[in-house]
Structure 1
């Protein structure tokens, strides 16, 4: 019991002792690649959120450490994201000046409240929410998100300075408007990085392709200033370790004002993180603990807020890199956070030599690896309705914001599920003077009308429902069967339920009592 309690409080004790020298070395290199990717992204996302650039780095250190150590996914890497940054900006910018001390304090307080909300959901074991995100939704979301991320990097690849957009459609419109402003050296550098990374990935899959290709591009820019001297580089920054940030937890009025936004952005972070975790777990054949993942997300934002880290959630780009680079455990994410901390203190000047087009080319390579082509083809062969759900989710991801696309995919999946279950398969046969209906499915509010119509079409003196495959019946189903039994009784006929499960019989007898139940039962 003490062993189980320790693992529940410190879940990293379950996998940390199993690490070998080879796996740690691999995770160390994967973490380095992730840190190089996270540094410029984190700075950009902080600026989108209206925060000083260094707050993006802070969000990529302590929150990532906590989420990796207390989470369950091998490959999920958290940190600041574009969607979260945009929502935070929209929530706080109307009430405080961008970048001011008040603005920063409100962002961190909102992060803390969202973390409390997420942690409470995890403690209440609401991880079942992830079950509503079907495999087809995950495939569509992954495909659409890969396209969105790739389109978002095309301006950097082309050397264009375009504002970040919330949807792929707006990004594409901006690209078409500036098609004549392409910087060819930037494009050459970005495509070269992409091809070099792809070649390394194909020839030497276990080599750190991202690190080598970015180092090569940086070296090329340094050696050939006449051609590449004007190419944009990652912005320089002054780094330090995350400082402690006291939160105004005693200001109840302020907390109540931020609470609705905290719930919304907290749920957005959870849905995004769980979708990414589930997507990668399907690829890696890993079973994730959704409740543990939710608690880890909450703890990361609870702790991160005290160390100047604004709200974090799962990152498709960094998580995809972790998977594609062959991370052996969550230790890769831990190393990524430690590398970010190290670079923030001692290596900021080195990061400033990385050309932005080369970074864009590397991200395009990651996006291609995120798409599960085999699963998409298999889904098309197996289930056309599920394939349609995947397409709808993908299109929603391209036209809407990422979080909205997830909700749209879940609703589409639920619609097709309800449509299918509302018309359960019914086999009808004749046994003497009885019509026998064998029902394959539960009798609930969505299926009651369909079954009632099938019962009313039966003309035999006795109507028998073979109930062996009926696992569940709700109040609507009970009321419908009672109504049909009374109708048949008035006509001198009867309704019989054959081989019904005990739970179904019990529910039918509850309405009017066992003695007065109009439905008859037969073994």
Structure 2
């Protein structure tokens, strides 16, 4: 039974459902679907895909992630950050919205899912921690600006080609500002105004959906003014169709692999951050490796059902928790409600004006900027704030997947800088220098500790190693050399309170009998 639950983890909680909990989750799922509908369509347009692919990404991937995941409240689906990375990665290879473009997006989704699943199967969930929270905040801030700039031409009624960077987009907008279409601007501005007013007045209402419906009704009632404004292309109402993923084209796979790793890592960081945040509030234990496997499986399966890469959604997961979801069935019901709409309500989407959709995306961008977290970073850690700012700047100036790697490298630089200078408190006891070391002795910290050892005045040096949890070969070699140096001058190096695993590593180099280091409790 244990092995079966590992393969089908939903068997652990599904039998415990009651009619009452299912009714509650059904209502929560309906609320989540109402929120997901305009978001999914908007995110598909950001990704350069037809509108229906946003709905497809909110059906099968969500079902798989909820049934195979470990969180009660995490709801996945298309997101703004993932969508813009996909667009930036695939648009140089094919025309956005074309059949070739869709095929490449689905292949990238499959590769990202495989990467995620492998991390989960190998229990490498800790790798996700190398993408720090400050990197995610900075990337999201930069992505929000990039998305907003990319949607301004649609809001202004301008037909401008997509640019590679945010700076070029801004320059293009400035040079064509005099050509804007006033009716398009009115619809887009009204969408933003109504959405912002609803967020302030009734924050629990589906402001995106209401603002889109209100502005679309206005455009329909005044055809003389708004008839020329472009609408979202209509599509056939149906369930997610099966799609062919070109798994045998190694050239395409190799070209997309770096982007797949970047976007897969970004999706995992986002999903686990949300899951951990909600688990702290709900007092639920999260299995990070199981969650990673669920994310990978959802994207692998979703790619064959026309669903592009998904990850945890801040807004939909938060709604699931606040609305009182009793189990992952709330996410399952949300996906099923979206499927009903994809079949029955497809014709209504054709009445949505493109500028109104652009306005709703601007609202989403405003919500992406975590102003509270940015202020907290500035107060608590200047180094983390620098990481956030550099990641945001890289997002504006570089390709988005490159910006993620840049943020990770900056985070690692600051981490290694901190750990390479462990806390050392120096004092004297008689003729001995006492060094209390607070940190591991590894290749990055070995030179700094060696310098501090050589500055000791007395021949007898005692290192208080009670807080040393780890030592690598560089640390072992350095301590042996320093002990030999002290022996030549009639002194000694003694480790006090060293852990058994540290003593064992120090003995491996020359054996216990020849080890030049003394040990005491």
Paired positions, count: 506
Quote the residue 2:178 is aligned against. Answer: 180
The answer to whether the Cα contact below 8 Å between 1:127 and 1:294 also exists between their aligned partners in 2 is yes
**Mapping for residues 210-289 of structure 1, pairs under 5 Å:** 210-245=208-243, 254=248, 256-261=250-255, 263-281=257-275, 284=278, 285=280, 288-289=286-287
User: Structure 1 residues 23 and 240 mapped into 2: Cα distance closer, same or farther (>3 Å)?
Assistant: closer
**Mapping for residues 289-304 of structure 1, pairs under 5 Å:** 289-304=287-302
**Mapping for residues 57-136 of structure 1, pairs under 5 Å:** 58-72=56-70, 74-79=73-78, 81-88=83-90, 90=92, 99=99, 112=110, 114-136=112-134
Quote the residue 1:17 is aligned against. Answer: 17
CA displacement 1:437-476 (0-9 Å, x = unmatched)? 1111111100111111111111212111111221111100
Tell me, what secondary structure is at the counterpart of 1:438?
A: strand
- Write the distance in 1 (CA, Å) between the matches of 2:356 and 2:91: 28
TM-superposed CA distance for 1:273, in Å, is: 0.8
User: Structure 1 residues 345 and 221 mapped into 2: Cα distance closer, same or farther (>3 Å)?
Assistant: same
Of 363-372 and 273-282, the range deviating more from structure 2: 273-282
- Write the distance in 1 (CA, Å) between the matches of 2:374 and 2:104: 43
- Write the distance in 1 (CA, Å) between the matches of 2:53 and 2:361: 22
Tell me, what secondary structure is at the counterpart of 1:511?
A: helix
**Mapping for residues 48-447 of structure 1, pairs under 5 Å:** 58-72=56-70, 74-79=73-78, 81-88=83-90, 90=92, 99=99, 112=110, 114-245=112-243, 254=248, 256-261=250-255, 263-281=257-275, 284=278, 285=280, 288-307=286-305, 309=306, 311-314=308-311, 319-320=314-315, 323=318, 334-335=332-333, 337-447=335-445
Tell me, what secondary structure is at the counterpart of 1:268?
A: helix
Tell me, what secondary structure is at the counterpart of 2:510?
A: coil
TM-superposed CA distance for 1:432, in Å, is: 1.2
User: Structure 1 residues 402 and 75 mapped into 2: Cα distance closer, same or farther (>3 Å)?
Assistant: farther
- Write the distance in 2 (CA, Å) between the matches of 1:502 and 1:367: 53
CA displacement 1:121-171 (0-9 Å, x = unmatched)? 321112111111222222222222222222222222222222334433232
CA displacement 1:311-331 (0-9 Å, x = unmatched)? 41337xx65465469565555
User: Structure 1 residues 118 and 35 mapped into 2: Cα distance closer, same or farther (>3 Å)?
Assistant: same
TM-superposed CA distance for 1:246, in Å, is: 6.1
The answer to whether the Cα contact below 8 Å between 2:41 and 2:52 also exists between their aligned partners in 1 is no
- Write the distance in 1 (CA, Å) between the matches of 2:11 and 2:149: 36
- Write the distance in 1 (CA, Å) between the matches of 2:510 and 2:441: 19
Of 510-519 and 72-81, the range deviating more from structure 2: 72-81
Tell me, what secondary structure is at the counterpart of 2:494?
A: strand
Quote the residue 1:26 is aligned against. Answer: 28
Structure 2: 5+ residue stretches without partners: none
Of 363-372 and 209-218, the range deviating more from structure 2: 363-372
- Write the distance in 2 (CA, Å) between the matches of 1:5 and 1:209: 43
RMSD: 3.2
The two structures have a TM-score, normalised by structure 2, of: 0.86
User: Structure 1 residues 199 and 43 mapped into 2: Cα distance closer, same or farther (>3 Å)?
Assistant: closer
Tell me, what secondary structure is at the counterpart of 1:162?
A: coil
Residue 449 (structure 2) pairs with residue 466 (structure 1) = no
Of 397-406 and 14-23, the range deviating more from structure 2: 14-23
TM-superposed CA distance for 1:424, in Å, is: 1.1
User: Structure 1 residues 385 and 515 mapped into 2: Cα distance closer, same or farther (>3 Å)?
Assistant: same
Structure 1: 5+ residue stretches without partners: none
- Write the distance in 1 (CA, Å) between the matches of 2:151 and 2:74: 23
